């Protein structure tokens, strides 16, 4: 009788031969899963340090907060992201959302785990929701896929349906801050029967751009009594002028 471990190892070898690991950004064959090829690796800019609240890089200063957070901290208590939003990071997010490469959620979550840090054992992972029409069109919520992977690696509980997007919002690109706030006002709700009072909530999303959507979620959760609301994202925009699409 052939031991199961031998069969399992043989199966993995055959699978790797048929479906070799590929670069998360461009699809080139690489040595192992969750790795980037030699061309894409230099284009992935990992974020570390920076503003203690929003992770915006701070250059040539010993300050702990950026100017924007000094002026208006917002409803989110802390914002973290794995990488700076650029062409390679954008490619990964697009391949997940529109290319249906759902395995990329694991890759993104693997790199998001470090900036997420140590969490209280009862901190609840909650994906930023899609409107039901968008969910039906796409077939999945990319933030929920990432949250599920973070749940596996962190051991923290997750609630994929805690937040609901009850109003379909227009694209926020090109809107002023005031217009963005109006567009997302009343767009979210906590699922009926769910209690968040006193909970530490970790919102999960793929890309943090203007922050309007996450802030609207955080304001709602705070009104419902959440003790704190943080955000973890795969990528965040550092210089909004470089955002394309």
Q: Both tokens of residue 4?
A: 């199961």
Query: 191-238: per-residue pLDDT in tens?
Result: 998 999 999 999 999 999 888 999 999 999 999 999 999 999 999 998
In the prediction, which pLDDT does 239 show? 63
CA neighbor of 162 nearest in space, from 224, 80, 112 = 224
Query: 89-112: per-residue pLDDT in tens?
Result: 999 999 999 988 899 999 999 999
The overall average pLDDT reported for the chain is 85
Kindly report whether the global pTM for this prediction surpasses the value 0.75: yes
Is residue 117 pLDDT above 50, yes or no? yes
Is residue 243 pLDDT above 60, yes or no? no
């Amino acid at each position: 009788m052939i031991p199961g471990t031998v069969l399992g190892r043989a199966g993995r070898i055959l699978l790797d031969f048929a479906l070799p690991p590929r670069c998360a950004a461009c699809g080139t064959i690489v040595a192992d899963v969750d790795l980037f090829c030699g061309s894409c690796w230099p284009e992935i800019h990992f974020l570390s340090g920076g503003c203690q609240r929003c992770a915006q890089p701070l250059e040539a200063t010993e300050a702990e907060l950026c100017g924007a957070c000094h002026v208006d901290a917002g409803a989110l208590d802390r914002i973290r992201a794995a990488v700076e939003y650029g062409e390679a990071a954008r490619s990964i997010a697009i391949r997940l959302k529109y290319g249906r490469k759902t395995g990329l959620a694991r890759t993104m979550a693997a790199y998001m785990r470090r900036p997420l840090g140590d969490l209280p054992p009862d901190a609840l992972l909650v994906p930023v929701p899609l409107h039901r029409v968008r969910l039906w069109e796409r077939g999945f919520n990319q933030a929920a896929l990432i949250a599920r992977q973070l749940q596996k690696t962190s051991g923290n509980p997750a609630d994929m349906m805690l937040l609901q997007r009850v109003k379909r919002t227009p694209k926020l690109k090109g809107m002023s801050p005031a217009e963005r706030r109006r567009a997302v006002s009343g767009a979210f709700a906590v699922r009926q029967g769910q209690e968040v009072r006193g909970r530490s909530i970790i919102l999960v999303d793929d890309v943090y751009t203007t922050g309007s959507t996450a802030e609207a979620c955080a304001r709602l959760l705070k009104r419902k009594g959440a003790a704190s609301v943080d955000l973890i994202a795969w990528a965040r925009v550092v210089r909004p002028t470089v955002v394309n699409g």
